[in-house]
Amino acid sequence: MDLPSFLWLWKIAAWAMGGTIAFYLLLLFFGSWMFYGRVTRIGRPPWLRNAHYISGIIIVFLVFLLLAIGIVGTVGYYGNLGHSSHLWAGLFVVWLICLSAWSANQIDVHNTWARSLHISVNAILFVGLAYVSWTGWSVVQKYL
């Protein structure tokens, strides 16, 4: 495929990955605040749950944007996928994000398992984001 330089695409990916990490940290802060309010029985501000939920929607959007950029950029540059472990790391992160979002929607009084699943998945997601960032950096170096 004879396309123009993909540098603009990698800039969008860099900003999206930075946003993903920033929103992950924001979600960690909001989630910790909600956990603290629940454990100490002091409650939480009324806006906190909605802020956590909206931030979660944003991180899902950013991860799917990164997936689309990765597919378009790699297929456009190489003609096919699977040139590094970044593909598998990225697909693993996409799966974790989807599992996290699904488990978040299951949290209620009757599904006591959902909260622990949500927290566990997000702990694994920390490692996944670190690994996909590292492999992504090595992929970007090939293009530059």
- pLDDT tens per residue, range 46-93: 999 999 999 999 999 999 999 999 898 888 878 888 888 999 999 999
Percent of the chain with pLDDT over 90: 71
SS3 string, the chain, reads CCCCCCHHHHHHHHHHHHHHHHHHHHHHHHHHHHHHHHHCCCCCCCCHHHHHHHHHHHHHHHHHHHHHHHHHHHHHHHCCCCCCCHHHHHHHHHHHHHHHHHHHHHCECCEHHHHHHHHHHHHHHHHHHHHHHHHHHHHHHHHC
d(CA 53, CA 104): 8
What confidence score (pLDDT) does residue 141 get?
A: 78
Helices 86-106 and 112-143: angle between axes, nearest 10 degrees: 160
Residue 15 φ/ψ, nearest 5 degrees: -65, -40
d(CA 24, CA 79): 32
What confidence score (pLDDT) does residue 10 get?
A: 79
Q: How confident is the model at residue 139 (pLDDT cuts 50, 70, 90)?
A: confident
What confidence score (pLDDT) does residue 87 get?
A: 92
Q: Give me the mean pLDDT over the 97-103 stretch.
A: 98
109-117 long-range contacts, CB within 8 A, separation 24+: none
Q: Give me the mean pLDDT over the 32-44 stretch.
A: 93
What confidence score (pLDDT) does residue 11 get?
A: 86
What's the chain's average pLDDT? Answer: 91
